[in-house]
Structure 1
Amino acid sequence: MILVVGFTAPFVFAPETGERLLGSVLSRLESDFGWVYIWFVLGLAVLLIWLAFSRFGNIKMGKPEDRPEFSTPTWLAMLFTAAIGGGLMYWGIIEWAHYYTEPPYGLEPRGTEAAEWAATYPLFHWGLTAWAVFCVPSLALAYAYHVRKVRRLRLSEACRGVLGDRVDGWAGRLIDVLFVLGMIGAAGTSLGLAVPAVSEGASRMLGVDATVGLNTVVIGLWTLLFGVSVFFGLHKGLKRLANLNLYLAAALGLLILVVGPAVFILDTFTNSVGMLAQNIVRMSTYMDPVGGSGFEEVWTVFYWGWWISYGPFVGMFCAKISKGRTVRQIIIGMCGFGSLGCWLAFALLGNSGLAFELQGTAAIADTLEAEGAVPAIFATLEAFPLSGLITVLFLVLLMIFLATTLDSASYIMGSATSKDLPNEVEPARANRVLWALVLAGVSVSVMSAGGTDALQTLSVVTAFPLIAVLTLVAFSLVRWLRDHESATAVVPASATEAHDPEAEDPGITASEDSGAPDDDGRGRPPAEPVG
């Protein structure tokens, strides 16, 4: 709590100084260390491809007989809504316009090639490579929580395979502090994008001015929504909100296909998938050192920083709900279904806006350059037939998407600040609600002081130290999986008959019964029964 207050206070009492300081740090990171973000994310994607096709893909998060806690549709819904938040709705409708007016590779702005890349780059920034940043910490934390049976759901526990018992000291505390600061940057970015959009929508529909007071009311309604959900917990709150979210998203998508430019949407999406498949290596390593356009700094490095800041939080939440799933199932669920869900949003919302721009139905690109992103979003919504209904659905979805993300964030902050949290136990209700109120309070105070832009830059700044932490997480995961395979190697049948299988059950170890850590300093899991 002291760190949260101390970190955000400069933006409240001296917003200009705070923004200027963060801006200088951001500029240095993007210009001198952008390649670090690029190579790090690419490395995580390669690691997941190897794991998915290797023998490690069959390792289950839990005992061999454990069944998944949630049905597959509900599990996928919770994974998706916890991870992407309101940012998907915001960028899904307007991101193409930024690339159309300022395209990569030195292309002519607003030209044919610019339009094609404008529809393709969002699929890259929200696709398989990006979801790898969420998936690696999810796997490491799920293994620690469900196989090794650690009783704390903290980022530091995912590094125990490399750091050993040092995570119980200052090294572990430092890692968990960096997680807290990363959450501030990630949540601040999401709120900074979504709140002005909802306020503008309320202003247009109710005929009131979009002021700081209206922003505060919007955040208050958000706090009530996700505060009530987090109060009821994982099964009665989060699960129901996530399912409602997907039902509403499906309704909006079908409506857009019926009344919108369906043929253009489908044709452009097909073309974009082909361009992405042909150019993903180039897009993953594009730095433009000769042209110096800065495209990768403004967009790719920003996005990778945002995803890295969210990575530990999403990893903790996905680990909590992934008991009984295998490594391969988690990779396919997150990178496959997660990417597909994002792609559908960009195909339906973004390609509709591109169609309106090219057909002359709405001057979306001009509105973006003259007035900003939020007015351009509503210029797109107003170009649809049945625009009133589509706008209401869009705003409701934007609110619920962000509510589910902040809901999950409050839940995980409660988990991360609990000293002892056995597998089947949820964080204390008061702890969960406290963090919901803290996130809302920080958002109101910073936005009222005009520090929203500064908080958005935090996603890149706070992600930089997390790169080192997540690298430890990745090495820890690989070591655990290799040790797991060694511990479960097939032995002669006569040997297994002479032992009680329960004595070798990784979930019922002597060290766990005694309350001592079941760790040998290298993060080696206990032996698992054979046969």
Structure 2
Amino acid sequence: MTRVIRWNIDNKVFWPALIMVIGFSAPFVIAPRTGERLLGAVLSRLQSDLGWAYMWFVAGLAVLLVWLVLSRYGRIRMGDPDDRPEFSTPTWLAMIFTAAIGGGLMYWGIIEWAHYHGAPPYQLEPHSTEAAEWSATYPLFHWGPTAWAVFCVPTLALAYAYHVRRVRRLRLSEACRGVLGDRVDGWPGRVIDVFFILGMIGAAGTSLALAVPTVAEGASRMLGVEPGATLNTVVIGLWTLLFAGSVALGLHRGLKRLANLNLYLAAALGALVLAVGPTVFVIDTFTNSVGLLAQNIVRMSTYTDPVGGSGFEEVWTVFYWGWWISYGPFVGMFCAKISKGRTVRQIIVGMCGFGSLGCWLSFALLGNSSMAFELRGEAPVVETLETEGAVSAIFATLEAFPLSWAVTPLFLLLLLVFLATTLDSASYTMGAATSRDLPNEVEPSRPNRVLWALVLAAVSVSVMSAGGTDALQTLSVVTAFPLIVVLSLVAASLVRWLREHDRDRSGASGPARDGGPVPGDRTGA
């Protein structure tokens, strides 16, 4: 069992991070249009001039994982040779999945295809048969194994540092120690950790910016309440109570139970949609999409459209890669904490395999159903998206289901709990990143965890009330660019550590063999 140390805050990381978060939020409350315009200009330059960097980086991480899972390094266990996993496999997978994707999957799961249908890649005719096929395929790419590689690499590096090298701090900077050495104890490490907190605010805020209006619209439709900023604030308040209460209970009593609840609700919604929805179309389209993805994954990973200039990869692929990169360190820290006793191969297969499959099922059941309603003339999903926006298009789909009175509330409940689990995990990892000392059996202090939960809610309310929801989404892509450099150091450290581990295991006997601490570990006092 884990235990909690009271307070245990590292002032050199905690206060600079908190000040930077407040400093970022203030301009979007005081002058939201100016702040969004400046941030948007940075985003536009990154997407148009440096989008290729995002694409090469993500593809490189995917290749690295393929090499690791097929190599002898895949057998290395995160901990001692006799360590066994702390959580059962279903619970471990549920915690990984729900911490990683949050409410964004429920939002995009229904209507992402509709964006591509009207503005498809590869110079295809909008609203054509080919556009429809690629519209069902691209979400599988953006939420598939390539994307999950961005989460998996920092997970492996942090898990190795935490469970094998026995570091006493669960921070992104510790995953760079294999390259930077003791410099991570100085200002370079502080900068990395503070920047991680800022990126986390943007990434989690993006999920809130997508999910809050959806839940608020659902409450408005079902309860007859007037939509607007007040209702959004009430929704965020309810969310805060849910995930702050869970994070206060800790990893075992709070987050674990919330993740399992997510799994049960997702299974119930999936079974209901499959039973009452366009089942044959859903399965046929999913099968076709998997085949199309398998045949074209290299093309999709490197598609920049320099001649056609459609901007498809800038608007979508680069945005998604930036979002995943911003989330990567957070997911890596959380998944590393819960992955003691797992091997390198198990972590890769669990995250890139099960994680991708979970996302694909969402797009298959919800997205393909939405497409079926559009093509059969049962719901004007694309037209609603273009004229009224994404939230209205989501409800156009939900209301087209038979038994929509059951599907819609279950969808909204799952969205609520999904995002609560993600924000719970985010608060937990931000508490870990700002803790002074965090051995394996210790959790971040309760005040620290709850404070970051409240900060997430406060920033989201203030920015959304000022009309700056796009700023939260833009920030996640902008902060991802320097994180490319940081995560490259993480990947290089991982490879160096695994090679040293394998060499020590094959050489002299001693504590460095078979998962024990290796030379140069930092076990603390």
TM-score, scaled to structure 1: 0.94
Question: Given that residues 166 and 522 in structure 2 are in contact (C-alpha distance below 8 angstroms), is that contact kept between their aligned partners in structure 1?
Answer: no
Equivalent position of 1:219 in the other structure: 236
Equivalent position of 1:155 in the other structure: 172
User: Residue 446 of structure 1 is aligned with which of 451, 463, 482?
Assistant: 463
Question: Which whole-Å CA distance do the structure 1 matches of 2:70 and 2:199 have between them?
Answer: 31
Equivalent position of 1:209 in the other structure: 226
Question: Which whole-Å CA distance do the structure 2 matches of 1:392 and 1:503 have between them?
Answer: 53
What is the identity, as a one-letter code, of the residue corresponding to 2:494?
Answer: L
Please give the secondary structure, in 1, of the residue aligned with 2:354.
Answer: helix
Q: Does 1:323 align with 2:340?
A: yes
Higher mean displacement: 179-188 or 401-410: 179-188
Give how far 1:515 is off.
3.4
1:510–1:50 CA distance, 2 compared to 1 (3 A):
closer
User: Residue 20 of structure 1 is aligned with which of 37, 41, 46?
Assistant: 37
Equivalent position of 2:524 in the other structure: 515
Q: Does 1:103 align with 2:112?
A: no
Question: Which whole-Å CA distance do the structure 1 matches of 2:512 and 2:499 have between them?
Answer: 22
Question: Given that residues 100 and 114 in structure 1 are in contact (C-alpha distance below 8 angstroms), is that contact kept between their aligned partners in structure 2?
Answer: yes
1:7–1:503 CA distance, 2 compared to 1 (3 A):
closer
Q: Does 1:10 align with 2:27?
A: yes
Please give the secondary structure, in 2, of the residue aligned with 1:85.
Answer: helix
Equivalent position of 2:375 in the other structure: 358
Equivalent position of 1:231 in the other structure: 248
1:508–1:301 CA distance, 2 compared to 1 (3 A):
closer
What is the identity, as a one-letter code, of the residue corresponding to 1:157?
Answer: E
Question: Given that residues 413 and 432 in structure 1 are in contact (C-alpha distance below 8 angstroms), is that contact kept between their aligned partners in structure 2?
Answer: yes
The 5-angstrom pairing of residues 81-480 of structure 1 reads: 81-480=98-497
1:106–1:425 CA distance, 2 compared to 1 (3 A):
same
Please give the secondary structure, in 1, of the residue aligned with 2:83.
Answer: coil
Question: Which whole-Å CA distance do the structure 2 matches of 1:74 and 1:180 have between them?
Answer: 27
What is the identity, as a one-letter code, of the residue corresponding to 1:151?
Answer: R
Give how far 1:303 is off.
0.1
Question: Which whole-Å CA distance do the structure 2 matches of 1:95 and 1:442 have between them?
Answer: 27
What is the identity, as a one-letter code, of the residue corresponding to 2:277?
Answer: G
User: Residue 96 of structure 2 is aligned with which of 74, 79, 84?
Assistant: 79
The 5-angstrom pairing of residues 470-509 of structure 1 reads: 470-490=487-507
1:261–1:12 CA distance, 2 compared to 1 (3 A):
same
1:510–1:310 CA distance, 2 compared to 1 (3 A):
closer
The 5-angstrom pairing of residues 53-72 of structure 1 reads: 53-72=70-89
1:261–1:223 CA distance, 2 compared to 1 (3 A):
same
Question: Which whole-Å CA distance do the structure 2 matches of 1:381 and 1:503 have between them?
Answer: 56
What is the identity, as a one-letter code, of the residue corresponding to 1:285?
Answer: T
1:513–1:39 CA distance, 2 compared to 1 (3 A):
closer
Q: Deviations over 1:402-458 (max 9, x none)?
A: 000000000001100001000011111111111111100111111111110111111
1:137–1:98 CA distance, 2 compared to 1 (3 A):
same
Question: Given that residues 152 and 332 in structure 2 are in contact (C-alpha distance below 8 angstroms), is that contact kept between their aligned partners in structure 1?
Answer: yes
Q: Deviations over 1:486-511 (max 9, x none)?
A: 111155xxxx6xxxx66978757898
Q: Deviations over 1:205-254 (max 9, x none)?
A: 01111110000000000000001110110001000000000100000000
Question: Which whole-Å CA distance do the structure 1 matches of 2:514 and 2:391 have between them?
Answer: 56
Question: Given that residues 178 and 465 in structure 1 are in contact (C-alpha distance below 8 angstroms), is that contact kept between their aligned partners in structure 2?
Answer: no
Equivalent position of 1:527 in the other structure: none
Please give the secondary structure, in 2, of the residue aligned with 1:208.
Answer: coil
Question: Which whole-Å CA distance do the structure 2 matches of 1:362 and 1:259 have between them?
Answer: 16
Question: Which whole-Å CA distance do the structure 2 matches of 1:18 and 1:125 have between them?
Answer: 28
What is the identity, as a one-letter code, of the residue corresponding to 1:170?
Answer: W
Please give the secondary structure, in 2, of the residue aligned with 1:281.
Answer: helix
Question: Which whole-Å CA distance do the structure 2 matches of 1:212 and 1:84 have between them?
Answer: 25
Please give the secondary structure, in 2, of the residue aligned with 1:24.
Answer: helix
Equivalent position of 2:11 in the other structure: none
Q: Deviations over 1:445-481 (max 9, x none)?
A: 1111111011111111010000000000000000000
TM-score, scaled to structure 2: 0.95
Q: Which runs of 5+ in 1 are unaligned?
A: 517-531
Question: Given that residues 238 and 404 in structure 1 are in contact (C-alpha distance below 8 angstroms), is that contact kept between their aligned partners in structure 2?
Answer: yes
Count how many residue pairs are aligned between Structure 1 and Structure 2. Answer: 508
The 5-angstrom pairing of residues 27-42 of structure 1 reads: 27-42=44-59
What is the identity, as a one-letter code, of the residue corresponding to 1:252?
Answer: L
Question: Given that residues 81 and 516 in structure 2 are in contact (C-alpha distance below 8 angstroms), is that contact kept between their aligned partners in structure 1?
Answer: no
1:513–1:338 CA distance, 2 compared to 1 (3 A):
closer
Question: Which whole-Å CA distance do the structure 2 matches of 1:25 and 1:508 have between them?
Answer: 44
- Structure whose alpha-carbon radius of gyration is higher: 1
Please give the secondary structure, in 1, of the residue aligned with 2:227.
Answer: coil
What is the identity, as a one-letter code, of the residue corresponding to 2:146?
Answer: T
Equivalent position of 2:9 in the other structure: none
Q: Deviations over 1:291-330 (max 9, x none)?
A: 1000000000000000000000000000000000000000
1:172–1:209 CA distance, 2 compared to 1 (3 A):
same
Q: Which runs of 5+ in 2 are unaligned?
A: 1-17
Question: Given that residues 149 and 507 in structure 1 are in contact (C-alpha distance below 8 angstroms), is that contact kept between their aligned partners in structure 2?
Answer: no
1:509–1:22 CA distance, 2 compared to 1 (3 A):
closer
Question: Which whole-Å CA distance do the structure 2 matches of 1:308 and 1:508 have between them?
Answer: 29
Question: Given that residues 141 and 293 in structure 2 are in contact (C-alpha distance below 8 angstroms), is that contact kept between their aligned partners in structure 1?
Answer: yes
Equivalent position of 1:521 in the other structure: none
Give how far 1:104 is off.
0.6
What is the identity, as a one-letter code, of the residue corresponding to 1:92?
Answer: G
1:50–1:192 CA distance, 2 compared to 1 (3 A):
same
Question: Given that residues 365 and 376 in structure 1 are in contact (C-alpha distance below 8 angstroms), is that contact kept between their aligned partners in structure 2?
Answer: yes
Give how far 1:8 is off.
1.1
Question: Which whole-Å CA distance do the structure 2 matches of 1:372 and 1:503 have between them?
Answer: 57
Please give the secondary structure, in 2, of the residue aligned with 1:407.
Answer: helix
1:429–1:363 CA distance, 2 compared to 1 (3 A):
same
Question: Which whole-Å CA distance do the structure 2 matches of 1:264 and 1:114 have between them?
Answer: 16
Please give the secondary structure, in 2, of the residue aligned with 1:86.
Answer: helix
Question: Which whole-Å CA distance do the structure 2 matches of 1:264 and 1:508 have between them?
Answer: 53
1:364–1:428 CA distance, 2 compared to 1 (3 A):
same
Give how far 1:174 is off.
1.1
Question: Given that residues 237 and 457 in structure 2 are in contact (C-alpha distance below 8 angstroms), is that contact kept between their aligned partners in structure 1?
Answer: yes
Question: Which whole-Å CA distance do the structure 2 matches of 1:441 and 1:395 have between them?
Answer: 22
Greater RCO structure (CA 8 Å; 6+ sep): 2
